[in-house]
Amino acid sequence: MMADSLPPLSREESKELGKRRRGRNIAMLIALVAVSALFYAISMVKMSAHIGGAG
C-alpha cells in the first residue's frame, strides 16, 4: 500500500540494481566453485598421504 505512494525507480536505476546483483551473484558463484575445488584438492592430498603412510 505504502509503496504506491512512493516514486518508482527509473529504468536506469533498475538496470543498475540488476547489474550490481548480477555482479554479487557471479562473485558468489566463483567463491563457491573455488572453495569446492580447494576442498576436493585438500581431500585428495590428505587421502593420498594416508594411503602412502599405510603402504
Residue choice 11, 51, 54, 55 for contact with other proteins (CB under 8 A): 11
Q: Give the nearest distance from C-beta 55 to other proteins in angstroms.
A: 17
Q: What is the DSSP letter of 6?
A: S
Residue choice 32, 33, 38, 47 for contact with other proteins (CB under 8 A): 38
**Which cell is 4 given?**
504506491
30-54 burial, b at 16+ Cβ within 10 Å, e below that, comes to eeeeeeeeeeeeeeeeeeeeeeeee
| Residues engaged in binding other proteins (CB under 8 A) | 3, 6-11, 13-15, 17-18, 20-21, 23-24, 26-27, 38, 41-42, 44-45, 49
